[in-house]
Structure 1
Amino acid sequence: MLKVLMGLCWTLTYLVIIRRGFADQTVGMPLVSLATNISWEFIFAFVYPHGKTQRIVNATWFCLDLVILWQLFQFGNTAGLPDALFYLFVILALVTAYALTLLITRHFQDWRGQYTAFGGNLLMSVLFITMLLDRGNLAGQSIYIALFKLLGTAISALAFYRYYPVPRIIHWLSLAIFIFDVIYLVMVYQQSIQLGLSVWGRF
């Protein structure tokens, strides 16, 4: 049940990111987070696949992240780089993230992907905050992204504690992610109020 809820929350997170990306003509996930997510999902759906149900979930997330990647190519070149240079930079980020995720998995024999999952999640939590600060608006963001991400990560941590022996570092990573996710949720809420936007009506 926990795994189903976790999968649902993260799927909703991706769907709202995609929805807001098209609505605002922007990309709703930082490049580094997108690269690590796509790498993790590909590896644990196709290279070192998890059990049948989780493999389907991982593959679904991978497909959703491909849509976000398309949005990145369409809307993400905000620095005005030449297209070829921008595409090369994105591809380099993807290759680097994939190689690191694969090497960490093999080095620690972490076939569940917990180190890279929680490490990448913490990175995402911090980068969502910096993205919000850099943009100074809610382009590509909504309270539902913040809420579903927070719930998805919290439930994911509970699922790991319930089904697997969890190293101490995962406890600390989970706590750090939760703290940053709460901060992000509060920041999105406050920004919505300041901009006069409907907090709960903006999907």
Structure 2
Amino acid sequence: MYFTLLMLGSGLFWTITYLLIIQRSWRDRSYGMPLVALCANISWECIFSFLLPPQLIQHIVNLIWFVLDAVILALTICYGPREFPNLSKRAFYTLLGLALVTSFFAVLLLTLEFHDSGVYAAFGQNLMMSILFLTMLFRRRSLRGQSMSIALCKLLGTACASLAFYLYSAPWHHSVLLPFLYVATFIYDVAYVGMVYVQMRAETKIVHTSPIRGDQAETSIQSR
């Protein structure tokens, strides 16, 4: 019962995360999920929606996530080249395609090699995603495509899943890797929330010290 409730909570928070990323990407005309993380995410959802579907409830959640990630991918295709001015569009799309193919087979072969039901791949790429969100924030030096709401929902979504497997999933209690992934991901997620807060403070300070663009920037801050 508690396992199911926590997993439903995880599904809800991650669904909200995806919706917020879509909304923010559309508003800022930028992609909101790190490229490699997106490729791994949509690959996992494709595999565990169509090739190796789980039990009914998780299958439905996976399908919803796949559709939402497909929208995020479409926005990335549309706005992604803007974030890499030194790359031609052809180079960007080529690299994105290679990343998608590589991610798909990496997740699939890892699953088959370790007779995994998607658990190791999911938590492993969650850790990767948490690190990549931090690096994306550092690289952009702005909240373009990002927000505190996204950071918090992402943290809560993964935390719920981690607690569910750590406390209530006996078949995985033998693992020495999963607890490390739970803790490491949580640490990076908390760090990301903290860095988003710092960036919000910095951008708010710019609003109050910029007489030229203050009104525009204030509107941007208030809409977060």
- Root-mean-square deviation (CA), in Å? 1.6
Q: Choose which of 108, 118, 137 in structure 2 pairs with 1:132.
A: 137
**Structure 1 residues 164 and 54: alpha-carbon distance in aligned structure 2, compared to 1, 3 A threshold:** farther
Residue 141 of structure 1 pairs with residue 141 of structure 2: no
Partner secondary structure for residue 76 of structure 1: helix
C-alpha distance after superposition, 1:138-173 (max 9, x if no partner):
000100111001100010011223134221200000
Letter in 1 for 2:34: P
| Counterpart Cα distance in 1 of 2:32 and 2:21 | 5
**Structure 1 residues 177 and 202: alpha-carbon distance in aligned structure 2, compared to 1, 3 A threshold:** farther
Residue 184 of structure 1 pairs with residue 192 of structure 2: yes
**Structure 1 residues 3 and 201: alpha-carbon distance in aligned structure 2, compared to 1, 3 A threshold:** farther
What is residue 52 of structure 1 aligned with on the other side?
56
Q: TM-score, normalised by structure 2?
A: 0.86
Letter in 1 for 2:188: F
Percentage identity across paired residues of the two chains: 48
C-alpha distance after superposition, 1:25-64 (max 9, x if no partner):
0000111000000010111111110111100100110110
Flag the structure with higher helix content.
2
Deviation at 1:193, TM superposition (A): 1.1
Show the 5 A alignment for 1:8-157. 8-77=12-81, 78-80=83-85, 81-111=87-117, 113-157=118-162
| Counterpart Cα distance in 1 of 2:75 and 2:170 | 36
- Contact 1:142–1:202, Cα closer than 8 Å, also in 2: no
**Structure 1 residues 54 and 201: alpha-carbon distance in aligned structure 2, compared to 1, 3 A threshold:** farther
Which stretches in structure 1 are left out of the alignment for 5+ residues? none
| Counterpart Cα distance in 2 of 1:202 and 1:104 | 41
State how many pairs are aligned: 202
Q: TM-score, normalised by structure 1?
A: 0.95
Deviation at 1:82, TM superposition (A): 2.7
Letter in 2 for 1:169: L
C-alpha distance after superposition, 1:89-143 (max 9, x if no partner):
11110000000000000000002x1111011000000000000000000000100
Deviation at 1:85, TM superposition (A): 2.4
**Structure 1 residues 68 and 164: alpha-carbon distance in aligned structure 2, compared to 1, 3 A threshold:** farther
Letter in 2 for 1:7: G
